[in-house]
Every structure is written in C-alpha cells, then in structure tokens.
Amino acid sequence: MSIWFRHLLTDGLARRRPELKDLPFVLAAVVRNKQVIIAASALAESQGASAGMAVADARAAVAELVVLDELPGQAAKLLRLIGLGCMCYTPLVSVDLPDGLILDISGCAHLWGGEREYLKTIVQRLRSAGFDTRAAIADTAGTAWGVARFAPKGPIIPPEGQSAAIADLPPAALRLEPETLDLLHKLGFRVIRPLLQIAPQALRRRFGQQLLLRIDQALGRKEEHREQLLPPLPYTERLPSLEPIRTRPGMEIAIERLLEALCLRLQTEGQGIRKAVLKCHRIDGRKVQAGITTTKGSHSVSHLLRLFQLQIDKIEPALGIELFVLEAIRVEAMETVQEQLWASARGLGNTALAELLDRIAGRVGADVIQRFLPSENHWPERSVRLAASLAEQPDAAWPEQPRPIRLLPVPEVIEVMALIPDHPPRMFVHKGRRHPVAKADGPERIGREWWQDSGEHRDYYTLEDREGCRYWVFRSGHYDGGDARWYLHGYFS
C-alpha cells in the first residue's frame, strides 16, 4: 500500500500553526540566488502558486501570499512521525521520500474487514489529522505508488491486475528520473501502455536499465527491498483488542496472553528475556509504554507477569487501548534448568533470588540494590566498590583488620583528652556526651591516597568506654601542639 501526501510540508506546518490554515502560504528556499518555492499550500496552489516557481512570480499571482523559510529535513521527520503512527495498522512501514509512505500490509487488511475498509480507515484518520492524503493498494509497491498519485479513481488493484492498472497512467507513475521522463515526453509516450508492448532490449538501448527495472518492479517481476522504519524485532508479539481496553484486569489478561505466546517461543529456542517493552497503542492515536528489565534471562510467564503488574500503574489507558505489542528488546541464551531439581539450591545463582531482585528493581528502582566487593584501597570510604552483577566475584581479599559495623558517612568532630601526645585518648566528648575510655587499641595509620586527593593521613584508634560501647575514632594529621583534629568515624558492635 502506498500513501501519498500531496501537501506534506505545508499540511504539517498548518497542523502545528493553525493560524496558517486559511492563508495561502508557501515554503521557499534560496536556489541559485533566487527564492524558489519548495512547497505550496493547497490554497496557494489553487490561486496559482506552485512548487518550482520563483517567489517573486508567485507574489505577483497571489496578493496575500505568506512566504516562510523551508526547514531542510522536515519532510523526513514528518514522514517518520506519521509512519510511527501507522505502526498500529501494520508492523512493516517504510518512508518513501519525498512525500509518501509505503506499508507492507500482507495479512493485515482482513483485521479491519477487508482492503476497502482498511484503506478507508487509514486515509480518513490521516485526513482528519489535516493531511491531504491519497492511498492505493496493489500487489507491488511500484503499482501502488503510481496509482496513488496518478489514477483518478480505483485505489484498490486486484491481484495480478498491475499491468492493467498502470497501462493508462502517464510514465511519471513509474518513478523515473526527470531526464528519462523528458525523453519519453518528447517521443510522445503519454501513457505507459505502449512501453509495455515494446521489446525490453529496445527500451534498454534507448532509455537505460532504470526504466526496465521500474516496469519490472511495478509488475512484480522483480523484488523490491525497502528499509523498514522500525526493523522488526525477532521476538515480538501483538494483540489487537476488539474493544478498547481501559481496566487493569483487562490489561493484565492482555499481558498474560502476550507473555504466554512469547515465552513459549523463547523456551523452545532456549532464550530468556533481559529487557522487554510493552507498547500500548491507544485509540486517541498516542502510544504509551512500560518496560521491565531482569537481572537474569527469564522465560517464566508468572515472573514476567508480576514484573509487568508492578508497571501497570504507569500505563495511562485514557479512552482505551486498541493494540498491545510486547517486544523483547534484549534476550540472552539460557541454560535450561530443571526447575524441580534446583529450586532448593541456595546461593547467588538462585532463580527465586533473581526474580526477587527484579521485582524490587521494578517497584523501587534498580539503584537501591547494592552488592559490595572489596576494592584495593586502604582509605575506608573507598575500600568497597559496587558489584556490577550478581555473578561477579571479589578479585581482592577483604581487609583483615577489624572494621566498624556502622560507618558514619561523614566523620563527626569530637573533643578529645589524651594523657600524653600520640597516646590513645582517655576521654572524648561526642555531641555533648562524655565517654571515659576504658580500653584502647591503635593507632592504625591510614595514609591518604595522594594520587586521588590531598590532605592529612589518619591515625585510627579503637576505643571502648566504661559501658562497653566501642568506637572508631581518628586523628587527622600529626599531633602537633594541640592542633590535631579528632573525629568519630564508626561504631563497633
């Protein structure tokens, strides 16, 4: 199926700026030091201004002409957006620059009750969005292209009816270069029919390979490959709904059905989902989506469904959802586990644990889950690092020295009394409370990592007060004349 937007650029602009709707306006760009019209709105065109004209000439023809600058690349952007909007009619949409879309609708039309209704639905929707649209359905993209643009009526070409359909169209319907068209025009080819009757060798000699290729493509003798707007993902499931779905149970049922179909496929192929996205096409033309990620590949319907259930609140159904698409964006090969046998296995490789972490990540966020590994730094604040995955094992040994079970994120200043310089304190005051020290260990000197930051080293002492509470305090820098600063950094158990 080919869709043609007769006034793509101007319709797109008028949609964004409604005040332009009732004015004749053109988009112009400078070509060879001359302002030339690139696109003219329907109103301007009817009054005599057309694309390719100089702006000065058009101004003479249309008095109140509004001239706007043309934005390069705008057509591609618009077509991409419209194409994405058409994804709910077929997954295979490709952009056909400069002013059309080509949809591969094999197996889609019957869902809308036949090709005629299908075409009508799409065209009406695009027209109501403000685009002057014509469309045609044919077995080949080439024929549909020509029929959409040049045939006065009969947009639906029956199977095998390509040659009859294009025979009466002008040669321009074959998507040819302007030079070839000029030549054909000069030689008197007003319609395509005589071209079909001439031997191919003669045509090639006269007009080149391009013409033959286009004819073959239009008639379906040669395959034509197009770049898809969104390349189809290998693991995708679609579920159109008869009635728009608005309720949570309805959405849950839809997700479950999609997951059942997808997981069955994944299971047989030994794959597991790492990342999946549920796209919901709403009847107001908008699209909402929710995504999940897992820490380990999974193809368990119940687990994935629970992850999605946590996300359902984020989906705003508004007037209703007419199409659910579930895409597995990232999958990974899974080793097949015999569930019954290994369900009781404890350890970090446990499936139930991975599922638990997925649920937590889905509800609260993945950044709250932390697993620590030793890092080869002595500085206490930097002595641990976050593990990247559940399977990562420590590459260094954990420190042997006693470390407090609770470490203050920022050391707190304390007042200290020591009998002799460089001895452990006899008493310290923290937050106004005196702690007479009964026992002390230390010092343990930890040097500043000079290649990372500058500052004083720390001398750590482990102190125990008379009640038996144990603290980790340090003196920053050397003891020189009462100027040293003392800090409380942690609590031992």
Partner 1 sequence: MEKRQQVISKLRQDLLAWEGYKPPAGGRSALLGLGELEQVFPNGVFPKNCVHELVCASMEQAAASGGFVSGVLSLLMGTEGVCVWIGRARRLFAPALTGFGVAPHQVIFISLHQDKDTLWVMEEALKCPGLTAVVCELREMDFKQSQRFQRAVEHSGVTGFVLRNAGQLSATASAARWQIRSLPSSGPDGLPGLGFLCWQVDLLKVRNGKTGSFRLSWQDKRFVPLAERVIREERQVG
Nearest to 255 by CA among 292, 305, 291: 305
Rg of the chain over Cα atoms, rounded to whole angstroms, equals 36
Q: Is residue 461 within 8 Å of residue 441, measured between CB atoms? A: yes
The residue range among 130-138, 191-199, 376-384, 475-483 that interacts with partner 1, by the rule CB under 8 A, is 376-384
The residue range among 118-126, 197-205, 263-271, 468-476 that interacts with partner 1, by the rule CB under 8 A, is 468-476
Distance CA 28, CA 71 (A): 9
Backbone angles phi, psi at 427, to 5 degrees: -160, 145
Residue 372 binds partner 1 (CB under 8 A):
yes
Residue 470 binds partner 1 (CB under 8 A):
yes
- Cα 166–Cα 170–Cα 176 angle in degrees, nearest 5: 90
Q: Report the site for partner 1 in 283-302 (rule: CB under 8 A).
A: none
The residue range among 133-141, 214-222, 296-304, 373-381 that interacts with partner 1, by the rule CB under 8 A, is 373-381
Among 223, 341, 346, 451, binds partner 1 (CB under 8 A): 346
The residue range among 35-43, 233-241, 251-259, 361-369 that interacts with partner 1, by the rule CB under 8 A, is 361-369
Backbone angles phi, psi at 372, to 5 degrees: -105, 145
Distance CA 476, CA 363 (A): 42
The residue range among 28-36, 173-181, 206-214, 379-387 that interacts with partner 1, by the rule CB under 8 A, is 379-387
Spell out, one character per residue from 385 to 424, where the chain touches partner 1: x when CB under 8 A holds, - when not. --x-----xx---xxx-xxxxxx-x---------------
Residue 384 binds partner 1 (CB under 8 A):
yes
Minimal distance, residue 14 CB to partner 1, in Å: 49
Residue 441 binds partner 1 (CB under 8 A):
yes
Please list the residues that pair with 94 across neighbouring strands: 102
Nearer to partner 1, 76 or 345 (CB): 345
Q: Is residue 121 within 8 Å of residue 23, measured between CB atoms? A: no
Residue 370 binds partner 1 (CB under 8 A):
yes
Distance CA 266, CA 328 (A): 10
Spell out, one character per residue from 304 to 343, where the chain touches partner 1: x when CB under 8 A holds, - when not. ---------------------------------------x
Among 111, 230, 357, 427, binds partner 1 (CB under 8 A): 357
Nearer to partner 1, 17 or 371 (CB): 371
Q: Is residue 26 within 8 Å of residue 160, measured between CB atoms? A: no
The residue range among 6-14, 212-220, 330-338, 462-470 that interacts with partner 1, by the rule CB under 8 A, is 462-470
Burial of 79 (0-12, 13-18, 19+ CB in 10 A): buried
Burial of 122 (0-12, 13-18, 19+ CB in 10 A): buried
Minimal distance, residue 88 CB to partner 1, in Å: 36
Nearer to partner 1, 233 or 440 (CB): 440
Nearest to 304 by CA among 350, 342, 355: 355
Residue 383 binds partner 1 (CB under 8 A):
yes
Distance CA 114, CA 368 (A): 52
**In what side-by-side order are the strands of the sheet with 34-40?**
34-40, 25-31, 66-69
How many residues lie near partner 1 (CB under 8 A)? Answer: 55
Residue 356 binds partner 1 (CB under 8 A):
yes
Please list the residues that pair with 242 across neighbouring strands: none
**Residue 384 CA, distance from chain mean position:** 34
Distance CA 369, CA 310 (A): 17
Residue 440 binds partner 1 (CB under 8 A):
yes
Interface residues with partner 1 (CB under 8 A)? 343-348, 350-353, 355-357, 359-360, 363-364, 368-374, 380, 383-384, 387, 393-394, 398-400, 402-407, 409, 438-441, 462, 464, 466-470, 490-493
